[in-house]
Structure 1
Amino acid sequence: MEDQNLVIKSIEQIFILNGYRHLDGITHRDYNIVADKIYEKTDVVISVSTLKRLSKGQFSKAPQVSTLNALAIYLGFNHWQDYKMSLLEVTPKPHPNFESGHRFRNLALSSVFLSLLFLSGYILKSNLSYPPSQAEFSCHKTTSNLLPNTVVFHYKLDGIKGDSFFIQQSWDQNRRVKIDPKDTTLTDIYFEPGNHIAKLIADQKIIKKIPVKIPTKSWFFYAKDADFTGRPDYIKANAFQKDGKLSLSKTELIEAGLAIEQEKHYYYSWVPDSSLLDSEEFIFQTKLRTTPIINNHCLFSLVEVMTETEPIYFEIMQPGCENLSIARFGDKFISGKTENLSSFAHLPSEWLDVMIRAHEKQIEVYYGERKIYQTKYAIDFGSITGFSFISNGLCEVDYIKLTDLAGKEIYTEHFEGQTLSPNPIN
Structure 2
Amino acid sequence: MESSAVKQLLSIIEQQLDWGESSRWQGKDFELLNQLILDKTKVSLSASTLRRLWGRVEYNHLPSSTTLDTLAKFAGFDNWRAFARKASPTRETTSAPAARTGKYRKTWRSAALLIIAVAMISLVAMYVRKPGPIVKGVFSFSSRPVTRSIPNSVIFDYDARVNPSDSVFIQQSWDPTTRSVVDKARHTFTSVYYRPGFYHAKLLVNNKIVKEHTLMIPTDGWLALIANQPIPVYLDTKEFIGDGVMNVTPATITKKNIPLGPQPPVTELYNVGNFAPVPLKNFSFSVQIKNDFHDGAAACEFINIMLFTDNSPVIIPLSAKGCISNLALLNGRYFESGKDHDLSGFGSDLSQWVKVDCRSAKDKIQYYVNNKLVYQSQLPPYDENIVGMGYTFQGTGSVKNITLKQGDKLIFQAY
Same fold, TM-score > 0.5, yes or no: yes
Instruction: Give yes or no for the alignment of 1:279 onto 2:290.
Output: no
The Cα of 1:322 is off from its aligned counterpart by 2.5
After superposition, residues 349-360 of structure 1 pair within 5 angstroms as 349-360=351-362
What SS does structure 1 have at the residue aligned with 2:299?
coil
Structure 1 match to 2:328: 326
Counterparts in 2 of 1:373 and 1:410: CA distance versus 1, 3 Å: same
Structure 2 match to 1:168: 171
- Is the contact between residue 310 and residue 381 of structure 1 (CA under 8 Å) also seen in structure 2? no
Counterparts in 2 of 1:273 and 1:12: CA distance versus 1, 3 Å: same
Of 363, 366, 370, 2:365 maps to 363
After superposition, residues 205-354 of structure 1 pair within 5 angstroms as 205-225=208-228, 230-238=230-238, 240-261=240-261, 262-292=263-293, 294-295=295-296, 296-354=298-356
Aligned partners of 2:238 and 2:338: how far apart in 1? Answer: 37
Instruction: Give deviations 1:31-56, integer Å, cap 9, x for gaps.
Output: 79xxxxxxxxxxxxxx8569x99xx9
The Cα of 1:276 is off from its aligned counterpart by 3.3
Q: Higher Cα Rg: structure 1 or 2? A: 1
Instruction: Give deviations 1:136-168, integer Å, cap 9, x for gaps.
Output: 11011222x122222110011132355522212
Structure 2 match to 1:129: 134
- Is the contact between residue 316 and residue 346 of structure 1 (CA under 8 Å) also seen in structure 2? yes
Structure 2 match to 1:156: 159
Instruction: Give deviations 1:306-345, integer Å, cap 9, x for gaps.
Output: 1111111121022222332222111212333454433322
What SS does structure 2 have at the residue aligned with 1:22?
helix
Instruction: Give deviations 1:11-62, integer Å, cap 9, x for gaps.
Output: 3663756441511459489879xxxxxxxxxxxxxx8569x99xx9x97769
Instruction: Give deviations 1:375-404, integer Å, cap 9, x for gaps.
Output: 214353532211100011221112111112
Amino acid at match of 2:22: I
Q: When the two structures are superposed, what TM-score results if normalisation uses the length of structure 2?
A: 0.69
Counterparts in 2 of 1:358 and 1:243: CA distance versus 1, 3 Å: same
The Cα of 1:285 is off from its aligned counterpart by 0.8
What SS does structure 2 have at the residue aligned with 1:320?
helix
Counterparts in 2 of 1:11 and 1:30: CA distance versus 1, 3 Å: farther
Q: When the two structures are superposed, what TM-score results if normalisation uses the length of structure 1?
A: 0.67
Aligned partners of 1:27 and 1:280: how far apart in 2? Answer: 40
The Cα of 1:212 is off from its aligned counterpart by 2.1
Instruction: Give deviations 1:195-252, integer Å, cap 9, x for gaps.
Output: 2222222333333222222222221001114xxx532111224253334211122232
Deviates more, 1:23-32 or 1:357-366: 23-32
Aligned partners of 1:338 and 1:48: how far apart in 2? Answer: 27
Q: Give the unaligned 5+ runs of structure 1.
A: 33-46, 68-121, 416-426
After superposition, residues 406-425 of structure 1 pair within 5 angstroms as 407-413=408-414, 415=415
What SS does structure 2 have at the residue aligned with 1:64?
helix
- Is the contact between residue 300 and residue 391 of structure 1 (CA under 8 Å) also seen in structure 2? yes
What SS does structure 2 have at the residue aligned with 1:321?
helix
The Cα of 1:191 is off from its aligned counterpart by 1.6
Structure 2 match to 1:14: 25
Aligned partners of 1:178 and 1:62: how far apart in 2? Answer: 10
Instruction: Give yes or no for the alignment of 1:64 onto 2:126.
Output: yes
- Is the contact between residue 330 and residue 379 of structure 1 (CA under 8 Å) also seen in structure 2? no
- Is the contact between residue 216 and residue 273 of structure 2 (CA under 8 Å) also seen in structure 1? no
After superposition, residues 30-179 of structure 1 pair within 5 angstroms as 48=75, 64=126, 67=129, 126=132, 129=134, 134-143=138-147, 145-161=148-164, 164-179=167-182
Q: In percent, how many aligned pairs have the same letter?
A: 23
Counterparts in 2 of 1:48 and 1:341: CA distance versus 1, 3 Å: farther
Aligned partners of 1:374 and 1:326: how far apart in 2? Answer: 14
Aligned partners of 2:351 and 2:195: how far apart in 1? Answer: 27
The Cα of 1:358 is off from its aligned counterpart by 2.1
Counterparts in 2 of 1:363 and 1:250: CA distance versus 1, 3 Å: same
After superposition, residues 173-212 of structure 1 pair within 5 angstroms as 173-212=176-215
Instruction: Give deviations 1:233-286, integer Å, cap 9, x for gaps.
Output: 112242533342111222322333433334211110011345332232101111
What SS does structure 2 have at the residue aligned with 1:242?
coil
Instruction: Give deviations 1:111-157, integer Å, cap 9, x for gaps.
Output: xxxxxxxxxxx87xx4x6366x83211011222x1222221100111
What SS does structure 2 have at the residue aligned with 1:310?
coil
Structure 2 match to 1:396: 398
Counterparts in 2 of 1:381 and 1:160: CA distance versus 1, 3 Å: farther
- Is the contact between residue 236 and residue 256 of structure 1 (CA under 8 Å) also seen in structure 2? no
Structure 1 match to 2:387: 385
Give the number of equivalent residue pairs.
330
Aligned partners of 2:239 and 2:349: how far apart in 1? Answer: 27
- Is the contact between residue 276 and residue 411 of structure 2 (CA under 8 Å) also seen in structure 1? no
Q: Give the unaligned 5+ runs of structure 2.
A: 1-6, 15-19, 31-46, 54-62, 88-117
Aligned partners of 1:306 and 1:28: how far apart in 2? Answer: 31
